[in-house]
Chains A and B, each alone.
Chain A
């Protein structure tokens, strides 16, 4: 299994009492809650944390894109990737750029090519549709999200692989001269990963034989992760091939402490802030109309029915949305998940919510020293991988 230290770069100094006046940390929370002096410190702190993870032997570091919220301060992840490029050695996974949001997807082809060139081919290129809230923040029509995602992907891959200039025409995009400079360093193009919250259409698309893209399930209960990764494997079988663990990944928050009890106590307020304050959104914000197909929307509504509104550290640990404990406990949990889920990639979110710098650095250290080497040395249970 490969290990990537993932970061959301939240506005960790958020005044959590905002919920007394506003219903979400997304879209409509006034940006007067953001203090640029604190923001300056946070950005640099977070870059230090990712560089530290790279130094300690993670296979890579991961970042992503979010807009107009306190949850993630990377509207342009290429800026952070650029800042990280020169002082890291491992993979830089940008997971990912939200294709449907931009009116010219070629800016993403260019940005990724630049990172790939500067790093000499250390880029993993993530393509996403963006969280529903971003369709509010950018006023992009969610009902065209799937169409634009497919077209933008095809355009970017063609721009990376075909000699320009050529004329691109599709329903949503028309570019007379597509001729991307620089071309990507990796040939034919950087590996493409598809992070998603579990949209059926996205999983089926990623697993198709002509793509075989690595599918990354983001923060979800383990039972749901299992269901979505199984769906990918089933789709691969239907397409006439067997999906490998390298094609599957999962991102979730992790905290490694000295003991189970101390880990839980140290992480409690921060993971609860993550789940209840930073991720606070009403359904219409998360799933604007058309963002999911009618069939998926129905499935999601059924899956979410009856779920508690407020999470606790214990409810999150129980559902597997938070892996927390001593190094031995975290190792055992992850080994179990590796076998159960058939995972080849694990993305550990080692800073979450309000978790401060020193605790984050200890978390990175313990994960790198007491979890990764032991799991790398272990052979996944092949039998379990073949249960499907």
Chain B
């Protein structure tokens, strides 16, 4: 497969009958990063930062980016079950699961189903809980408008290259399928978040216009013992806009978690 960079590889795997594309780089304890509404076209600076200390594994979700779309994919819960199979297929143990946006929602649903192989949870500007204040309705936005709303400084966004553009419609379709209604949340989730028995870090960009930062408090309040890290001068993608602060925050949190 095409190498994403000197530090990472992109490979294809068939899991639960779906061909999934996976970026992987670094070494150390496994860190599974679940992307938000857009799959990453290539290895990102924040991944490189994390890869100094972790074995960073970044799949394109089924139905997104380079991965195939399976007929069974209807809900976020389907993705959570898929990632149980993924962790088993990759023979991962003691995994740090980080998820951004709908990927954070998948991570929570996964952790509520099965924590046996999980070490900690990192939720980054995550979907899953109802918004107390509406943000920008991305379903009403053009791709350019979404980019403008997603980053405090658009120059820090990955360049909208041909790969990203080619996947835009596919990613948008699957995001709608999974999150159109109820809009980016599961009304049942809040009832059971307190059962989550996993060290959790809630990371939020202080300028997130899509899921406003007060969501961070909602997650932290719902998940017992959760820590919060608000990243200044960042929008909906704090890991992309402030890769070093993000990786440092994650590293410090994991250091405090006994394996």
Contact = CB atoms under 8 A, between A and B. Distances in A.
Interface of A: 27, 135-136, 139-144, 282-285, 288-290, 294, 297-298
A239 B175 CA distance: 35
Contact of A136 (B140, B169, B172): B140
Contact of A298 (B169, B177, B180): B169
A262 B175 CA distance: 51
B10 interface: no
Contacts of B180: 135, 139-143, 288, 290
Nearest to A144: B177
B181 A141 contact: yes
Interface residues of B, number: 15
Interface of B: 139-142, 169-170, 172-177, 180-181, 183
B173 to A, nearest CB: 4
A289 B175 contact: yes
Given A282-B142, A289-B176, A139 B169 contact: no
A290 B173 contact: yes
Contacts, number: 48
14 contacts: A136-B140, A140-B181, A141-B176, A141-B180, A142-B176, A142-B180, A143-B174, A282-B142, A283-B142, A285-B140, A288-B176, A289-B169, A289-B172, A290-B172
Per DSSP, are chain A's interface residues mostly helix, strand or loop, or mixed? helix
Given A141-B177, A142-B180, A143-B176, 16 more contacts: A136-B139, A139-B180, A139-B181, A140-B181, A141-B181, A142-B176, A143-B174, A143-B180, A144-B177, A283-B142, A284-B140, A284-B142, A288-B139, A290-B172, A294-B170, A294-B173
A285 B141 CA distance: 9
A140 B180 CA distance: 7
A289 B181 contact: no
A289 B173 contact: yes
Contact of A284 (B139, B173, B174, B177): B139
A4 B55 CA distance: 67
B139 A289 contact: yes
A136 B183 CA distance: 11
A272 B181 CA distance: 35
Contacts of A288: 139, 176, 180
A283 B183 CA distance: 20
Given A139-B181, A144-B177, A294 B140 contact: no
A21 to B, nearest CB: 17
A38 B48 CA distance: 63
A135 B140 CA distance: 11
A192 B248 CA distance: 63
B181 A284 contact: no
Nearest to A27: B140
Contacts of A298: 169
Contacts of A297: 169
Contact of B183 (A139, A282, A294): A139
Given A139-B183, A297-B169, A298-B169, A290 B142 contact: no
Contacts of A284: 139-142
Task: Name, among A142, A284, A288, A298, the residue most crowded by chain B CB atoms within 10 Å (CB to CB).
Answer: A284
A142 B172 CA distance: 11
Nearest to B178: A143
Nearest to A285: B140
Task: Name, among B142, B174, B175, B181, the residue most crowded by chain A CB atoms within 10 Å (CB to CB).
Answer: B181
Contacts of A143: 173-174, 176-177, 180
B65 to A, nearest CB: 14
Contacts of B170: 294
Given A139-B183, A284-B141, A294 B177 contact: no
Nearest to A23: B140
Given A284-B140, A284-B142, A285-B140, A290 B181 contact: no
Nearest to A135: B180
A294 B169 contact: yes
A294 to B, nearest CB: 6
Given A297-B169, A298-B169, A290 B177 contact: yes
A288 B139 CA distance: 7
B62 to A, nearest CB: 14
Contacts of B142: 282-284
Contacts of A283: 142
- 9 closest A-B pairs by CB: A143-B177, A289-B172, A141-B180, A289-B176, A290-B173, A143-B176, A290-B176, A289-B173, A139-B181
Contacts of B174: 143
Task: Name, among B140, B141, B177, the residue most crowded by chain A CB atoms within 10 Å (CB to CB).
Answer: B140
A294 B176 CA distance: 13
Nearest to B142: A284
Contacts of B177: 141, 143-144, 290
A288 B140 CA distance: 8
Nearest to B141: A284
Nearest to B180: A141
Nearest to B139: A288
A282 B173 CA distance: 17
Contacts of B172: 289-290
B134 to A, nearest CB: 13
A294 B172 CA distance: 10
